[in-house]
């Protein structure tokens, strides 16, 4: 290949690569705008359903259809706590560092659902230090339906063998406690009804959806514009 032909190929390759980058950046920006629309619709939906009267927790017949739209749905459930199968999940709240206390509830409808009863500090992680808050009979719980949190947190994976939990992974907690059969794929954040002795502390659910999609979209569009301007300047210089 002659030097002149190689020069022509290079002159064609640079604009082609720039075009691919421009299209890629533009499509990513448009995708983020679509995600923003979806997130705003989800936020509006959740805010609307938070104002609704509580309904019974979903039963096994509808578990396969549960998704983000059901998150934070006000629900009620009754049954008996399985206190010997409770799980502590590391948490940080306005009360400081401690744990979410998730206790399986054998419902009066025959299935099991984990109840996030609330926050306990390190002093009250031991059930012996909160005996008065371990009801043995049938209880009624009102709270918010929450989706399972699989795989742990960033850089902190759940370790079922060591009983170390960083996220509320319903399936993994159920397997660790031998409760896989008829276990609801969600958990329920209990409301703020006080527990005897003051622990656990319920009603600490933070209803918040991160929505930075507009910023991401503007970043991608800016990169597309910079690519187009940079290519135009290079081509202009090459023609002079």
3-state secondary structure (DSSP) of residue 163: coil
Sequence-distant (6+) residues with CB within 8 A of 97 are 90, 91, 121, 122
Supply 25's token pair.
Answer: 């950046």
Tell me which residue has tokens 């409770």: 86
Low-confidence ranges of the chain (pLDDT < 50): 5
Query: Residue 77 has what pLDDT?
Result: 98
Distance, in Å, from the CA atom of 224 to the CA atom of 38, rounded to the nearest integer, reads 23
Query: Residue 8 has what pLDDT?
Result: 55
Q: How is residue 212 annotated by DSSP? A: -
Q: How far is CA 10 from the centre of its chain?
A: 47
Query: Residue 41 has what pLDDT?
Result: 82
User: What does the mean pLDDT of the chain come to?
Assistant: 89
Distance, in Å, from the CA atom of 44 to the CA atom of 25, rounded to the nearest integer, reads 29
Counting every residue written for the chain, the total comes to 240
Q: Radius of gyration of the chain from Cα atoms?
A: 26
């Amino acid at each position: 290949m002659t030097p002149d032909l190689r020069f022509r190929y290079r002159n064609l390759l640079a604009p082609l690569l720039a075009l691919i980058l421009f299209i890629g950046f533009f499509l990513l920006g448009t995708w983020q705008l679509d995600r923003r629309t979806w997130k705003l619709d989800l936020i509006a939906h959740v805010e609307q359903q938070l104002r609704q009267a509580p309904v019974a927790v979903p039963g096994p017949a509808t578990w396969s259809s549960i998704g983000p739209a059901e998150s934070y749905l006000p629900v009620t459930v009754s049954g008996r706590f399985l206190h010997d199968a409770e799980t502590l999940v590391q948490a940080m709240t306005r009360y400081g560092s401690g744990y979410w206390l998730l206790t399986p509830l054998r419902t009066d409808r025959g299935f099991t659902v984990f109840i996030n009863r609330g926050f306990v500090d390190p002093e009250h992680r031991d059930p012996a230090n909160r005996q008065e808050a371990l009801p043995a009979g049938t209880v009624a719980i009102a709270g918010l339906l929450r989706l399972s949190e699989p795989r742990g947190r960033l850089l902190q994976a759940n370790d079922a063998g060591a009983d170390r939990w960083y996220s509320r992974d319903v399936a993994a907690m159920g397997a660790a406690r031998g409760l896989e059969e008829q276990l609801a794929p969600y958990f329920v954040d209990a409301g703020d009804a006080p527990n005897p002795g003051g622990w656990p502390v319920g009603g600490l659910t933070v209803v918040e959806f991160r929505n930075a999609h507009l910023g991401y979209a503007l970043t991608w569009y800016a990169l597309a514009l910079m690519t187009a301007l940079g290519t135009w300047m290079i081509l202009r210089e090459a023609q002079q």
